[in-house]
Amino acid sequence: MPLVLNAAAVQADIFARLKPRIQKLKRAPGLAVMLVGRDAASEIYVRSKIKACAELGMVSEKVAPPLESTTEQLLAIVHELNARKDIDGILIQMPLPKHVDTRRVLEAVAVHKDADGFHPENVGLMVSGRPAPRACTPAGVMESLRYHKIKMDGANAVVLGRSDIVGKPMALMLLQENATVTICHSRTKNLPEVCRRADILVAAIGRPAFVTADFIAPGATVVDVGINRINDAAVAARLGRAEEFASKGRAVVGDVHPLDVARVAGAYTPVPGGVGPLTIAMLMANTVELAERHQA
Protein backbone atom coordinates (compact mmCIF):
# COMPACT_ATOMS: atom_id res chain seq x y z
CA MET A 1 0.00 0.00 0.00
CA PRO A 2 1.34 3.46 -0.84
CA LEU A 3 1.93 6.05 1.85
CA VAL A 4 -0.76 8.76 1.79
CA LEU A 5 0.76 12.15 2.59
CA ASN A 6 -2.24 13.61 4.40
CA ALA A 7 -1.91 17.24 5.42
CA ALA A 8 -3.76 17.13 8.75
CA ALA A 9 -0.89 15.79 10.84
CA VAL A 10 1.62 18.08 9.14
CA GLN A 11 -0.56 21.13 9.71
CA ALA A 12 -1.00 20.19 13.37
CA ASP A 13 2.77 19.90 13.74
CA ILE A 14 3.32 23.33 12.16
CA PHE A 15 0.67 24.92 14.38
CA ALA A 16 2.20 23.31 17.48
CA ARG A 17 5.54 24.92 16.62
CA LEU A 18 3.97 28.32 15.95
CA LYS A 19 1.94 28.64 19.16
CA PRO A 20 4.87 29.15 21.60
CA ARG A 21 6.39 31.69 19.20
CA ILE A 22 3.11 33.63 19.14
CA GLN A 23 2.87 33.56 22.93
CA LYS A 24 6.29 35.20 23.25
CA LEU A 25 5.23 38.24 21.23
CA LYS A 26 4.16 41.52 22.83
CA ARG A 27 1.02 41.56 20.70
CA ALA A 28 -0.70 38.96 18.54
CA PRO A 29 0.36 38.85 14.88
CA GLY A 30 -2.08 40.63 12.58
CA LEU A 31 -3.03 39.38 9.11
CA ALA A 32 -5.12 41.39 6.64
CA VAL A 33 -6.79 39.52 3.79
CA MET A 34 -8.15 41.53 0.87
CA LEU A 35 -10.98 39.80 -1.02
CA VAL A 36 -12.31 41.75 -4.00
CA GLY A 37 -15.90 40.89 -4.91
CA ARG A 38 -17.85 37.78 -3.90
CA ASP A 39 -16.19 34.83 -5.65
CA ALA A 40 -17.57 31.72 -3.89
CA ALA A 41 -14.35 29.68 -3.98
CA SER A 42 -12.27 32.63 -2.78
CA GLU A 43 -14.67 33.24 0.10
CA ILE A 44 -14.21 29.62 1.23
CA TYR A 45 -10.42 30.02 1.17
CA VAL A 46 -10.60 33.29 3.11
CA ARG A 47 -12.81 31.74 5.78
CA SER A 48 -10.28 28.93 6.19
CA LYS A 49 -7.49 31.46 6.70
CA ILE A 50 -9.49 33.47 9.23
CA LYS A 51 -10.34 30.25 11.09
CA ALA A 52 -6.65 29.28 11.24
CA CYS A 53 -5.79 32.71 12.67
CA ALA A 54 -8.39 32.27 15.40
CA GLU A 55 -7.09 28.80 16.25
CA LEU A 56 -3.59 30.17 16.74
CA GLY A 57 -4.59 33.28 18.67
CA MET A 58 -3.72 35.62 15.80
CA VAL A 59 -5.71 38.66 14.71
CA SER A 60 -7.24 38.64 11.24
CA GLU A 61 -9.02 41.33 9.29
CA LYS A 62 -10.99 40.80 6.09
CA VAL A 63 -10.99 43.76 3.71
CA ALA A 64 -13.71 43.37 1.08
CA PRO A 65 -13.77 46.11 -1.58
CA PRO A 66 -16.50 45.77 -4.24
CA LEU A 67 -15.94 43.90 -7.48
CA GLU A 68 -15.93 47.09 -9.54
CA SER A 69 -13.00 48.59 -7.58
CA THR A 70 -10.30 50.04 -9.81
CA THR A 71 -6.61 49.29 -9.64
CA GLU A 72 -6.00 52.72 -8.10
CA GLN A 73 -8.63 52.14 -5.41
CA LEU A 74 -7.10 48.78 -4.49
CA LEU A 75 -3.63 50.32 -4.41
CA ALA A 76 -4.90 52.94 -1.95
CA ILE A 77 -6.21 50.18 0.35
CA VAL A 78 -2.89 48.33 0.18
CA HIS A 79 -0.97 51.51 1.04
CA GLU A 80 -3.21 52.04 4.08
CA LEU A 81 -2.55 48.49 5.27
CA ASN A 82 1.18 48.95 4.69
CA ALA A 83 1.12 51.92 7.09
CA ARG A 84 -0.75 50.20 9.90
CA LYS A 85 1.34 49.08 12.89
CA ASP A 86 -1.11 46.35 13.90
CA ILE A 87 -0.91 44.55 10.54
CA ASP A 88 2.12 42.29 10.11
CA GLY A 89 1.09 40.43 6.97
CA ILE A 90 -1.05 41.29 3.95
CA LEU A 91 -2.57 38.74 1.58
CA ILE A 92 -4.30 39.59 -1.69
CA GLN A 93 -6.76 36.80 -2.42
CA MET A 94 -6.44 35.68 -6.01
CA PRO A 95 -7.76 35.91 -8.63
CA LEU A 96 -8.41 39.64 -8.85
CA PRO A 97 -11.02 40.91 -11.36
CA LYS A 98 -9.84 40.99 -14.97
CA HIS A 99 -9.94 44.78 -15.18
CA VAL A 100 -7.42 45.10 -12.30
CA ASP A 101 -3.65 45.23 -12.85
CA THR A 102 -2.82 42.24 -10.64
CA ARG A 103 0.94 42.69 -10.78
CA ARG A 104 0.74 46.32 -9.61
CA VAL A 105 -1.49 45.39 -6.68
CA LEU A 106 0.65 42.44 -5.56
CA GLU A 107 3.89 44.40 -5.82
CA ALA A 108 2.38 47.30 -3.85
CA VAL A 109 2.38 45.13 -0.72
CA ALA A 110 5.35 46.19 1.41
CA VAL A 111 8.24 43.73 1.33
CA HIS A 112 8.13 43.43 5.13
CA LYS A 113 4.39 42.61 5.06
CA ASP A 114 4.42 40.14 2.16
CA ALA A 115 2.69 37.16 3.78
CA ASP A 116 2.41 35.32 0.45
CA GLY A 117 6.10 35.53 -0.44
CA PHE A 118 5.30 36.92 -3.91
CA HIS A 119 7.19 40.23 -3.81
CA PRO A 120 10.15 40.22 -6.25
CA GLU A 121 12.55 41.24 -3.48
CA ASN A 122 11.50 38.30 -1.29
CA VAL A 123 11.73 35.95 -4.27
CA GLY A 124 15.26 37.20 -4.84
CA LEU A 125 16.17 36.57 -1.21
CA MET A 126 14.84 33.02 -1.49
CA VAL A 127 16.84 32.43 -4.67
CA SER A 128 20.01 33.51 -2.86
CA GLY A 129 19.22 31.25 0.12
CA ARG A 130 18.56 34.09 2.56
CA PRO A 131 15.63 34.29 5.03
CA ALA A 132 12.41 35.63 3.52
CA PRO A 133 8.71 34.78 3.39
CA ARG A 134 8.34 31.87 0.99
CA ALA A 135 5.51 31.11 -1.42
CA CYS A 136 3.03 29.25 0.77
CA THR A 137 2.02 26.27 -1.36
CA PRO A 138 5.53 25.02 -2.27
CA ALA A 139 6.73 25.78 1.26
CA GLY A 140 3.89 23.59 2.56
CA VAL A 141 4.87 20.80 0.18
CA MET A 142 8.42 20.93 1.56
CA GLU A 143 7.10 20.65 5.12
CA SER A 144 5.09 17.57 4.12
CA LEU A 145 8.07 15.89 2.45
CA ARG A 146 10.23 16.50 5.54
CA TYR A 147 7.53 15.35 7.95
CA HIS A 148 7.03 12.09 6.05
CA LYS A 149 10.80 11.61 5.70
CA ILE A 150 10.79 11.61 1.90
CA LYS A 151 14.43 11.69 0.81
CA MET A 152 15.20 14.81 -1.21
CA ASP A 153 19.00 14.89 -1.02
CA GLY A 154 20.18 13.39 -4.31
CA ALA A 155 16.66 12.63 -5.55
CA ASN A 156 15.54 13.26 -9.11
CA ALA A 157 12.66 15.74 -8.84
CA VAL A 158 10.37 16.81 -11.66
CA VAL A 159 8.09 19.84 -11.31
CA LEU A 160 5.26 19.87 -13.84
CA GLY A 161 4.28 23.53 -14.20
CA ARG A 162 6.26 26.78 -14.23
CA SER A 163 4.02 29.35 -12.55
CA ASP A 164 5.49 32.05 -10.33
CA ILE A 165 3.21 30.94 -7.50
CA VAL A 166 4.01 27.20 -7.42
CA GLY A 167 6.23 25.77 -10.15
CA LYS A 168 9.26 28.06 -10.06
CA PRO A 169 9.53 28.43 -6.25
CA MET A 170 8.89 24.68 -5.86
CA ALA A 171 11.85 23.92 -8.10
CA LEU A 172 14.09 26.32 -6.16
CA MET A 173 13.12 24.86 -2.79
CA LEU A 174 13.81 21.31 -3.96
CA LEU A 175 17.14 22.44 -5.41
CA GLN A 176 18.08 23.93 -2.04
CA GLU A 177 17.53 20.46 -0.54
CA ASN A 178 20.06 19.02 -3.04
CA ALA A 179 17.54 17.41 -5.35
CA THR A 180 18.32 17.35 -9.08
CA VAL A 181 15.42 19.31 -10.50
CA THR A 182 13.74 19.35 -13.92
CA ILE A 183 10.96 21.83 -14.70
CA CYS A 184 8.43 20.65 -17.30
CA HIS A 185 5.70 22.58 -19.09
CA SER A 186 3.41 22.47 -22.11
CA ARG A 187 6.34 22.65 -24.57
CA THR A 188 8.37 19.85 -22.99
CA LYS A 189 9.07 17.02 -25.42
CA ASN A 190 8.38 13.41 -24.39
CA LEU A 191 6.66 14.64 -21.24
CA PRO A 192 5.59 11.25 -19.80
CA GLU A 193 9.12 9.91 -20.28
CA VAL A 194 10.68 12.90 -18.49
CA CYS A 195 8.22 12.61 -15.59
CA ARG A 196 8.87 8.86 -15.24
CA ARG A 197 12.47 9.63 -14.30
CA ALA A 198 11.32 11.36 -11.14
CA ASP A 199 11.74 10.04 -7.62
CA ILE A 200 9.61 13.05 -6.61
CA LEU A 201 6.99 14.34 -9.06
CA VAL A 202 5.12 17.58 -8.31
CA ALA A 203 2.10 18.25 -10.53
CA ALA A 204 0.96 21.87 -10.75
CA ILE A 205 -0.29 22.22 -14.30
CA GLY A 206 -3.99 22.96 -13.75
CA ARG A 207 -5.43 20.16 -15.89
CA PRO A 208 -7.68 17.55 -14.25
CA ALA A 209 -6.22 14.04 -14.03
CA PHE A 210 -3.60 14.94 -16.64
CA VAL A 211 -0.86 12.88 -14.98
CA THR A 212 -1.68 9.23 -15.63
CA ALA A 213 0.16 6.00 -14.84
CA ASP A 214 2.60 6.38 -17.73
CA PHE A 215 3.97 9.57 -16.11
CA ILE A 216 4.76 7.88 -12.79
CA ALA A 217 7.71 5.64 -11.95
CA PRO A 218 6.67 2.73 -9.72
CA GLY A 219 7.32 3.72 -6.13
CA ALA A 220 7.75 7.44 -6.83
CA THR A 221 6.47 10.16 -4.50
CA VAL A 222 3.75 12.18 -6.24
CA VAL A 223 2.60 15.58 -4.96
CA ASP A 224 -0.63 16.83 -6.53
CA VAL A 225 -1.08 20.59 -6.18
CA GLY A 226 -4.09 20.80 -8.51
CA ILE A 227 -7.70 21.46 -7.54
CA ASN A 228 -10.14 20.91 -10.43
CA ARG A 229 -13.92 20.69 -10.32
CA ILE A 230 -15.59 18.02 -12.45
CA ASN A 231 -19.17 18.75 -13.55
CA ASP A 232 -19.66 15.71 -15.81
CA ALA A 233 -20.98 12.52 -14.19
CA ALA A 234 -19.32 10.23 -16.73
CA VAL A 235 -15.92 11.85 -16.24
CA ALA A 236 -16.32 11.67 -12.48
CA ALA A 237 -17.14 7.96 -12.72
CA ARG A 238 -14.02 7.26 -14.83
CA LEU A 239 -11.92 8.94 -12.16
CA GLY A 240 -13.47 6.96 -9.31
CA ARG A 241 -15.53 9.91 -8.07
CA ALA A 242 -19.04 8.64 -8.92
CA GLU A 243 -20.21 8.56 -5.30
CA GLU A 244 -18.94 12.09 -4.63
CA PHE A 245 -20.64 13.36 -7.78
CA ALA A 246 -23.91 11.65 -6.87
CA SER A 247 -24.01 13.30 -3.44
CA LYS A 248 -22.74 16.79 -4.39
CA GLY A 249 -23.49 17.19 -8.07
CA ARG A 250 -19.80 17.71 -8.76
CA ALA A 251 -16.46 16.15 -7.90
CA VAL A 252 -12.99 17.45 -7.12
CA VAL A 253 -9.82 15.96 -8.56
CA GLY A 254 -6.23 17.10 -8.81
CA ASP A 255 -3.84 17.21 -11.74
CA VAL A 256 -3.03 13.52 -11.16
CA HIS A 257 -5.36 10.64 -12.05
CA PRO A 258 -6.53 9.49 -8.60
CA LEU A 259 -6.86 5.80 -9.45
CA ASP A 260 -3.53 5.59 -11.27
CA VAL A 261 -1.51 7.32 -8.58
CA ALA A 262 -2.88 5.05 -5.86
CA ARG A 263 -1.91 2.04 -7.97
CA VAL A 264 1.60 3.07 -9.04
CA ALA A 265 3.11 5.57 -6.59
CA GLY A 266 4.98 4.73 -3.42
CA ALA A 267 3.63 7.86 -1.70
CA TYR A 268 1.17 10.52 -2.80
CA THR A 269 -0.92 13.47 -1.66
CA PRO A 270 -4.71 13.05 -1.84
CA VAL A 271 -6.99 15.67 -3.38
CA PRO A 272 -8.51 17.33 -1.53
CA GLY A 273 -6.64 17.36 1.78
CA GLY A 274 -3.07 16.78 0.71
CA VAL A 275 -1.68 20.24 0.04
CA GLY A 276 -4.36 22.90 0.64
CA PRO A 277 -4.22 22.89 4.46
CA LEU A 278 -0.44 23.28 4.29
CA THR A 279 -0.75 26.40 2.15
CA ILE A 280 -2.78 27.94 4.97
CA ALA A 281 -0.32 26.69 7.60
CA MET A 282 2.60 28.33 5.80
CA LEU A 283 0.65 31.59 5.46
CA MET A 284 0.37 31.53 9.25
CA ALA A 285 4.08 30.75 9.56
CA ASN A 286 5.03 33.64 7.28
CA THR A 287 2.84 36.04 9.24
CA VAL A 288 4.35 34.96 12.56
CA GLU A 289 7.84 35.39 11.15
CA LEU A 290 6.99 38.90 9.94
CA ALA A 291 5.51 39.79 13.36
CA GLU A 292 8.68 38.61 15.06
CA ARG A 293 10.74 40.91 12.85
CA HIS A 294 8.43 43.86 13.48
CA GLN A 295 8.64 43.36 17.26
CA ALA A 296 12.35 42.58 17.47
Active-site residue list: 49, 93, 116
Assess contact for 271 and 252: CB atoms under 8 A: yes
Q: Please report, in angstroms and rounded to a whole number, the separation of the first and last CA atoms in the chain.
A: 48
DSSP, res 26: S
Question: What 3-state DSSP class applies to 43?
Answer: helix
Assess contact for 286 and 136: CB atoms under 8 A: yes
- Of 15, 154, 25, the C-alpha closest to 86 is 25
Assess contact for 209 and 226: CB atoms under 8 A: no
Backbone angles phi, psi at 120, to 5 degrees: -55, -35
